Amino acid sequence: MWCRFVALLALVLALTAAMPLAAQDLGAAEQLVQSGQYAQAETSLRGIADAQPDNAKANYLLGVALLEQDKLDEAEPRLRKALELNHPQDQVKVALGRVHLQRKQSDQALALFNEAQAANPDNVDAYLYRGVARAGRNEYSAAVEDLEKAMQLKPDNAKAHYYAGLAYNAIKRPDKMVQHFQLFLKLAPDAPEAPRVRSLLRNVR
């Protein structure tokens, strides 16, 4: 009887110790995603998601890490799993919309960005990527509206300034293009898009 009690106590202590460790691992993996270290994040998150298949956040973060590496066929089921597990809908739908955006499926992407915006009117990325999707459909005035909203919510959003610059260039507003491209270069001088932006600015008349 005593041996069974000791064994049960050891099991409870082991489970209790493992819980905060798992939370710490997930927090560390989330930081990797936020810092752009997607391959490292993927490795860590696969382990967590496999050990805890019903962990909504782990599935979502893994889906994002895969999406950022253009592993779209792997990212989509992870994101849909996160949606089923009730991870915040606006976050997941933005990520799923980005999957469709990269597949050039603008109708599906826009529908998801609209749903994300409706679920959370303060989701910056819903406006940002809806603006990108609309620009891809040559709907530049609508794109500008969304991108301006994204920048209103988050003024230091470098991506929003970049795409706003492109959209304003398309609608022949060089003044606004220059404004947003200069802000983009200030916020992200080493971004992959920076050489293109500098080239466009040099050609402004």
Chain segment 90-116, per-residue pLDDT in tens: 999 999 999 999 999 999 999 999 999
Sequence-distant (6+) residues with CB within 8 A of 78 are 49, 59, 60, 62, 63, 66
Number of CB atoms found within 10 A of residue 162's CB: 24
Quote the tokens at residue 109: 């992407």
The model carries a pTM of 0.84
Measured CA to CA in angstroms, residue 157 lies from 33, 104, 168 at distances of: 17, 24, 17
pLDDT reported for residue 76? 98
18-45 mean pLDDT: 82
Residue 6: pLDDT over 50: no
Q: How far apart are CA 80 and CA 31, in angstroms?
A: 22
Chain segment 165-201, per-residue pLDDT in tens: 999 999 999 999 999 999 999 999 999 999 999 999 9
41-52 mean pLDDT: 93
- DSSP secondary structure code for residue 191 in this structure: S
Q: How far apart are CA 110 and CA 104, in angstroms?
A: 11
Q: How far apart are CA 65 and CA 51, in angstroms?
A: 18
Quote the tokens at residue 25: 């691992």
Quote the tokens at residue 44: 């860590």
pLDDT reported for residue 204? 81
Measured CA to CA in angstroms, residue 60 lies from 71, 74, 176, 183, 193 at distances of: 14, 12, 36, 31, 27
Residue 16: pLDDT over 50: no
| Amino acid sitting at position 78 | R
What domains can be seen in the chain, in order of their start residue? 21-85 (1.25.40.10)
Measured CA to CA in angstroms, residue 27 lies from 38, 54, 145 at distances of: 14, 17, 35
